[in-house]
Structure 1
Amino acid sequence: MPWRVPPADRKAGTAPDPYRVWLSEVMLQQTTVATVRDYFERFTARWPDVSALAAAADADVMGEWAGLGYYARARNLLKCARVVTDTHGGAFPADHAALLGLPGIGPYTAAAISSIAFDLPHAVLDGNVERVMARLYDIHTPLPDAKPELLARAESLTPATRPGDYAQAVMDLGATICTPKSPACGICPLRDPCRARQRGTAPELPKKLPKKAKPVRHGRVYLGQRADGAWLLETRPDKGLLGGMLGWPGSDWVDTALPMPESAPPCDADWQVLPGEVRHTFTHFHLILQIMTAEIRADATPDRGHFVDPAGFRPSDLPTVMRKAFDLAR
């Protein structure tokens, strides 16, 4: 993993860079390692330290983040970088309480930075560690109710010596050996004391409360292009889903029980319904979007959004749901 310091370098005295630890942990929230790797390498090549990121234009950062999802993370990333630069002299504080006071840093991320970057004895509790603790102690309380007990168990095992190495080791144990399905108990270093292995309950742990069915919402987006190739786009409000991201003008997203929301087109044109629809799933709901397309007159003045010339438009800067609409329309 590009954010890790190899063992030989650690032995030679190379310490983890708090910036890279923080950036990777924020990116890894709700996202897989395989997805994050390329994003992390692009970010660190373009913005090699926290001060460089703090000085970046919001639109550039949001564009690089496009496709990672959970876009509030990107907004908080910029806020945090600027606070660290302006208030802490461009260095992350080596203090757990101070880290918790930074934008976008919650208990897990603060613990991860504290332990991995600064070798402070704070227990990390991500999904992998939850699974290891639930099996090691045969805890059948379903998540999320089990979190306090699992954290207490994790804290009891966190050593005072090399807590950063331990934190990464127990996360890797859950990711590679104590996996959700078919855990490799035969090669696990915690095989002997593991109560769930002894009792044959490992495959069913950790237990989780049943998930509620996700509602379905509907909306409409307008994809308009001038004859010179310029696209009509808008920057979404900072608050709310896809906040601060570039996207197509559109309607509100409403529940299935309601009719398709009425919304005025962003400018006067001969808007036509495009066959097909965009389907996308967010954390709490499914979304279905109807696409309207039109060629916009060169002298048209939009009521919403702004025109982006072809040379300055990158579909990769769009969030995934908006890119799906573009892919269907082109």
Structure 2
Amino acid sequence: MENVTVNFIENKDKKTKPDADKIAFGKHYSDHMFVMDFQADKGWYDPRIVPYEPITLDPAAMIFHYGQTVFEGLKAYRTPSDRILLFRPEKNFRRLNLSSDRLSIPAIDEDLALSYLKQLLEVEKEWVPKAEGNSLYIRPFIIATEPNLSLAPSKTYQFMIILSPVGSYYKEGIQPVRIHVEDEYTRAVRGGTGTAKTAGNYAAAYKAQERATKEGYSQVLWLDGVEKKYIEEVGSMNVFFKVNGEIITPELNGSILEGITRMSIIEVLKDWGVPVTERKLSLEELYEAHEQGQLEEAFGTGTAAVISPVGELYWGEKKIKINNGEIGDLSKRLYDTLTGIQTGKIEDTYHWTIELNS
């Protein structure tokens, strides 16, 4: 479809862009943002690109009281030939709508949302970093804005997109991380909001992450919320294990977020002819595979890191060391392939990337 031009108010007070080697995740923001409003009797209306600035909400706005909000995360990459690429952005807007449906938030037009994002990026293209490994993080989100303390879905919303330059996730090379198996707290349960990308899911994970960090672990391995037996996610990422040549990842069971990177990894593995299975995987089964010398690799997948290799799992008094604490060959190959496609360094035979000016 053709682009629908949005209203544009230029920010005259331009910011100084951060040094390439000093960019911290989520600390710097571009000069402009996208905003669009919703009213029950009007639908979504008034799409606009405006200066990045604080937003003003009534203290009774329902986002503050009932947590009715969803968000997404994706990136824009600058190629060696100075093109700007997006990686499967249509999947992010599709998932945003799926999250919205779970939280009774009205859907946005996914094609229009992508058009709005591309127009924002055209205005802010100088914010897409040029340094190797850096990128522009994109955060679309929707919040409930109606000032009403009644326990019911809001009748008004705002959809916004903000942009943040981010540095290389692995500044000193990919280092496998140590993971604590969480057996007390629960990330999500089937029928809850685990399949939605909503704020409360992440705040609910803080307590377990605080404890893991205090004990010297980088992340938490989440188990199912009913039996505390089956593996679900690692931190805020989907998780994969290579067992005796086969790649196993927890099946989407109603509590696991369907990651765009997860989806892409599975497609690549199948294309390579690597056996990949989506199914229930208990920690006990994984431990037995480790004891038999069959647990070969483990890694998380997500937008920020793409691939995050796991070197050790700590389960009660048991320590599961994986691949001598080093990144596995398959994990490295997957990382190089996906980042190569994202940054235009290798041919995109899957047609996953969208060029900004296309």
Range class of TM-score, shorter chain: under 0.3
Normalized per residue, the structure richer in helix is 1
Query: Larger relative CO (CA 8 A, sep 6+): 1 or 2?
Result: 2
Normalized per residue, the structure richer in strand is 2
Using structure 1 for the length normalisation, give the TM-score: 0.24
Larger Rg belongs to:
1
Using structure 2 for the length normalisation, give the TM-score: 0.23
